Each structure stands twice: as structure tokens, then as C-alpha cells.
A = this chain, B = another copy of it.
Amino acid sequence: MGNVSFQSVNIEDGFWKEQQKVNRETTVWAIYDRFKESGRFDALRCGWQEGMPNKPHIFWDSDVAKWLEGASYLMQKQPDARMEAIADNIADTVEAHQREDGYFNSYFLTMSPDEIFTHRMDHELYCAGHFVEAAIAYYHATGKRKLLDCMERYIALIDRVFRIEHSAAFDTPGHEEIEMALAKLYEETKNENYLKLLRFFVDHRGRSKKDSSAPFSEYHTQSHLPAVEQHTAEGHAVRALYWCCGIQDLAALEDDADLKETCLAIFDDIVTKKMYITGGVGSTYAGEAFTFPYDLPDDRAYSETCAGIALAMFCRRLWSMYKDGKYADIAEQAIYNTVLSGISLSGDEFFYENPLAVDVRQRKFYEKRPSFEQLRWPIIRRVKLFECSCCPPNLMRLIGAIGDYAYSVEGDTIYTHLYMDNTADIPVAGKTFRITQKTKYPLAGHICLTVGTEGSCKLALRIPAWCQNPEVKVNGEKIHGEICNGYFMIEKMWAEGDCIELILPMIVRVVEAAPECRDYCGKIAVCRGPMVYCVESEDCDGQTVVRDVRIHTDAPFTVKEEMICGRELPVIYAEGEVRRGTGNLYQNVPFERMPVSVRMIPYFTWANRGEDDMYVWLLG
């Protein structure tokens, strides 16, 4: 029951096939090389000494772990000897340097072994959590338990020190992650201690007298209140959403009504008040945080790639419990916009922040004036590595395991969530049901599902909220069914070869933001399917003042398949107008307006053709 793992979902064509090809051929190695040359892998050997290059960093174990987790997802689908050798080496290294008592954190073992479990804000348990997830993935991919055994020993130590002896200097991690790792480890092992430790961490956050979030406020780590008293998304966005994943896992495992309430309230707060149209969250770089309702500045948007991934992870947990299409709607809003914006089409360059507006002159100006260092703006060109390089391996593991987002099962019903070209073997009602989807989704709205297994079961096909007038045909005949919470329900005794066609018309949509969003008053965004579009200056008819483009929202939009850096993607042509400057800064008579034709590209493909002005929100 619940979500269907990507292990059962094979992607053989379509949009995600292309993404996964780049992931396997380029991304995994690009990240490996950058991590290798920056010393992240070597740091595991705990041999760094003053004077040597590549001083270890508190995040680095998590970078390696996420790379290993992502690589394991690739290996689960297709063995790779070089990848496996690297993975084995990681496992061997961890085992070799793990302390007698089970402790393993390469940073603390190297830099300050006397200070373990004393620095709440130094990502110790966050790294542990990522290593647990990596160990499980590596085990599933290779059957090798070594790293998982190491991690079980490490978690046993953490359990003793934190939950049983209370001998750590803090009670809950300053950066959540271990919570969902513990849920996963419990699912894997059924060892009740992991569940108890998860419960301990969840219950103590916001209640512990030992915990401090200094130099940040307690909001930063969601420690301002106990979980059950929280109803709004606060603080560091990735922390907040990893924490939501962890407490939703616990709520599901223990059927905890109060925690469920918290998760639902926070989700609601995010999607009705604190989320960019791209599914990005965290409006500000200051604390990488959620701010206040409707505060969604486009040019200073933080909208971290990892936060978008975390929102999708949270949605997946919610849809598995609550059969409501809105969770998949939000997941794909995040994935097809903010998340994929985080990686170049070439697969080897990354954004950490994903702003919705760029003024190149502004960035150039601030780059060349040292006195302007105080003003922080998102970068406008993807880079190969960040000092804090959490996003690249997070993208790698998300893309490798994207099949996770396709299906869930409840009773005798198979739910489809994110449509993607795939063949899946889904355990339902005591048998394994094969479904094949052929589709170009999200580039087009036509999905063909073929049943590969005879038998009775219900199908619940998600109808995205953006879609008007969906059509469902079974074996060529249009059927009328109930749409229940965003899912079109079909119950049938299926024969092998039965074909369900789902047609989700992808009309170009003109979207307005709530009046309270001060940054978007008077503006519109153009969307098609789950994808948000943007304008880059070079596609704007030679007009450089993209911000001044007013879209004629009542004129027809034209969609064409065109190449963007080697990918065939639907672009949108819109008609609009811009004003002609006169040399006056201010003028009592309106500036003359001229027609302009604008080419819009999917937001996630921005900044692939060099630095350029870019805007999602345009005058409408």
C-alpha cells in the first residue's frame, strides 16, 4: 500500500528518459569529478591536517552521501562497474574510519573529535541521515550491507546518546533530515528503536531546553514551537520541508492526528501564501527562509533548488495519505519549474537559487563595486559546484528516482500522479498489475495507458487542476466518470491490452497572482500544462526592456516545438506591446506604444544560452 517505488517503474521514453540520460551520462560524473577534486570524497578518510588543501566542511558527508544515493538509484536500474567501485570504496572508507562506538562523521572525527554531539547547528545528524538514506539505496542497488550495517551501528549510538542517555549537548538536530531517514530505516528494518528515536526528535523540537538555534532565531530551525502547535511554514525552507517530510512519515507510521494536522496546515500555508508560481519556496537568502504571507519578490527570490525538491517530497507523502490531486499538482509545479531550473540542459551546471526575474545590468554593476557586497543577489549563470553544494546531488537523486512520483496504491485502486512515459509493475489487490504509459507529458497532454495484466482494479487518473475539459477514452470510447478530489475514477475488469487514453488539453493559460502579492499586481504569468514560461531578452524582438512588455492576453498565443540547446520543447509566441523611450526619465504624456512579438520558453530552460534579462511575470 502507499507509494510505488521507482524500482517498479521503468522509464523508456519521453521527457524523463531524456533527463535521465543526461543524469546518467553527464550529471553523475560531473558531480563526482567536482566532489573529488574539491576533496569531498577524500575527506571521508579523516586524514586532513592543517596546511593541506581542501579543508573539510561540516556539509561534506551529506554531499558524498547524496551522490552515493543518486548513484545507487542509477545502479538499481542499470549496473555500472565504475560507479559500483566508487560506492564500494565509500562503504569501505566509512567502515574503516567509523569509531568503535559507531560514530561516523568525517568532519568531527577530523577536526574536533572532542566536540561530537555538542554543536547543534553543525549538521552532524543531517549528515548521518543522508548516509542512512544512501546506505539503504546502496544496499538495494548492490545487495551489499556493509554501509547499512555501519549506519545501523551509528544510529544505535545516536539513539543511546540522544534518546536514552540524554547526554548530547542538544536534543534535536539543527538541520532536520535524519527524521525521514529514520522512517525509511524503520521501514527497511522494522527496528522499533528507529521509530522511537524519530518520535524523540519530533517531540523535543520546540520543547527542548537544551536546543538553541543561535545565531539564528528559533524559527530558523522550526524550534519556535512544538510541532503540534505549528500551523505555518517558518524559517529555513529546506529544514522546514525536510522536517515536514519527517513528521508526516511519523504521522503515517503512528497514525498521529495532531502531527497530520500540522502537516496539512503547513502545506496549506505554503501553497496559499508562500509559494512562487514556479513551486519555489523560501523567499529570502537571509536564512534561506520563508518570510511572511505573500512576500514573493521575483528578482531577489531565493527559491532554492533543494527546497523545491523537498516540497515535492512532502507532496508525495501527502498524496499517499490523502487522495487529493492538489498534492501532485504542487509537486509537478515544483519539479517542472524550480527544480529543473536548478540544472542546465547540459546536465553539469547548477543553480542553487532560482529567481523569477533577472536584470543583467544590475548584477554587472554590483559585481564591480566592492562597496556593494552588502547587497546579495542570486547568480545568473549556473556553476559547476557550490561551496555548499547540496543541490546538485539532490537533483541527481530526484531525477534518478523520478519514477517514485508516478503511482500510489490504496486498497484496490491504482492512483496515477505525475504522468510520464513508463512501464510499471504495481502490486495491487494481491497481484502485480502492469501499466504502460506512452506520453510526451509534460510537453503535451496526451497520455496513453495500456493495461498489461488481466484483472479487476480501480484506476484513479489525476486530472491536474490547470486542466479544463479533460477527456478519457477506454479502448477508443469516450467515457464519463466521476472526478473525485482531482482523480478520474475508472473501475473495470481489465483485459490485457486495454487502452486508456487521457487527453489533458494544454491550453496556454494567463495566470494572475492574488492581490496581496505586491510584486505581481498588474502582472500576469503565462503557463502551459505544469510549466511556467518566461521571457529572455534575446527572444524579445530586439527589445531590451523586457520588464516593460505588456502581453495582450486576449490575443491568441501560438505554441511551437522548437529547439532549445538541443532539446525540442514547446515555446509560446505571444503578442504584446512595449513603450518607446524618449530620453525623458519622467513624462506627463504617455510614452508611445509599439507592438512586439515575444517568444516565451519554459522557465526551467532559462539561462542556458548565456546571461540575459529574464522575467516570468509580465504586464498583462
CB 8 Å contact bits of A190-233 with B (1 = contact, 0 = none): 00000000000000000000000001110110000000000000
Is residue A189 contacting chain B, with contact meaning CB distance below 8 A? no
Question: Which B-chain residue is minimally distant from A292 (CB atoms)?
Answer: B365
Is residue A157 contacting chain B, with contact meaning CB distance below 8 A? no
Is residue A376 contacting chain B, with contact meaning CB distance below 8 A? yes
The smallest C-beta distance from A320 to any residue of chain B, in angstroms, reads 24
Knowing A295-B365, A515-B548, A515-B580 are in contact, say whether A510-B588 is a contact too (CB < 8 A): yes
CB 8 Å contact bits of A504-517 with B (1 = contact, 0 = none): 00000111111111
Q: Are B291 and A511 closer than 8 Å at their CB atoms?
A: no
Q: Are A272 and B517 closer than 8 Å at their CB atoms?
A: no
Whole-angstrom distance between the alpha carbons of A583 and B515 in the complex? 10
Size range of the chain A interface in the assembly: 35 or more
Q: Are B588 and A513 closer than 8 Å at their CB atoms?
A: no
Instruction: Pick from B277, B294, B588: contact of A509, CB below 8 A.
Output: B588
List, in ascending order, chain B residues with CB within 8 A of A219's CB: 369, 371
Q: Are A585 and B275 closer than 8 Å at their CB atoms?
A: yes
The smallest C-beta distance from A551 to any residue of chain B, in angstroms, reads 11
Is residue A78 contacting chain B, with contact meaning CB distance below 8 A? no
The smallest C-beta distance from A77 to any residue of chain B, in angstroms, reads 35
Whole-angstrom distance between the alpha carbons of A34 and B575 in the complex? 59
List, in ascending order, chain B residues with CB within 8 A of A216's CB: 370-371
Segment 306-324 of A: residues with Cβ below 8 Å from B:
none
CB 8 Å contact bits of A496-530 with B (1 = contact, 0 = none): 00000000000001111111111001110101000
The smallest C-beta distance from A461 to any residue of chain B, in angstroms, reads 21
Question: Which B-chain residue is minimally distant from A234 (CB atoms)?
Answer: B369
Instruction: Pick from B271, B545, B589: contact of A521, CB below 8 A.
Output: B545
Segment 369-402 of A: residues with Cβ below 8 Å from B:
369-376
CB 8 Å contact bits of A350-383 with B (1 = contact, 0 = none): 0000000001011001000111111110000000
Knowing A545-B518, A581-B515 are in contact, say whether A466-B588 is a contact too (CB < 8 A): yes
Q: Are A591 and B514 closer than 8 Å at their CB atoms?
A: yes
Knowing A292-B365, A371-B215 are in contact, say whether A515-B591 is a contact too (CB < 8 A): yes
The smallest C-beta distance from A567 to any residue of chain B, in angstroms, reads 26
Binds B, one of A56-64, A282-290, A469-477: A282-290
Q: Are A586 and B514 closer than 8 Å at their CB atoms?
A: yes
Is residue A587 contacting chain B, with contact meaning CB distance below 8 A? yes
Is residue A579 contacting chain B, with contact meaning CB distance below 8 A? yes
The smallest C-beta distance from A613 to any residue of chain B, in angstroms, reads 9
Whole-angstrom distance between the alpha carbons of A521 and B60 in the complex? 44
Is residue A90 contacting chain B, with contact meaning CB distance below 8 A? no
Q: Are A522 and B545 closer than 8 Å at their CB atoms?
A: no
The smallest C-beta distance from A156 to any residue of chain B, in angstroms, reads 34
Question: Which B-chain residue is minimally distant from A296 (CB atoms)?
Answer: B585
The smallest C-beta distance from A222 to any residue of chain B, in angstroms, reads 13
Question: Which B-chain residue is minimally distant from A513 (CB atoms)?
Answer: B586
List, in ascending order, chain B residues with CB within 8 A of A545's CB: 515-516, 518, 521
Top-5 shortest CB links A-B: A287-B371, A518-B547, A515-B548, A515-B579, A216-B371
Q: Give me the interface of A with B, judged by CB distance under 8 Å.
A: 215-217, 219-220, 271-273, 275, 277, 284-287, 289, 291-295, 359, 361-362, 365, 369-376, 466, 509-518, 521-523, 525, 527, 545, 547-548, 550, 578-591, 619
A sample of 18 more A-B contacts (CB under 8 A), given A295-B361, A522-B619, is A219-B369, A220-B371, A271-B585, A272-B585, A284-B372, A286-B374, A289-B371, A291-B365, A292-B365, A293-B361, A359-B518, A466-B588, A509-B588, A512-B586, A514-B581, A514-B582, A515-B545, A518-B548
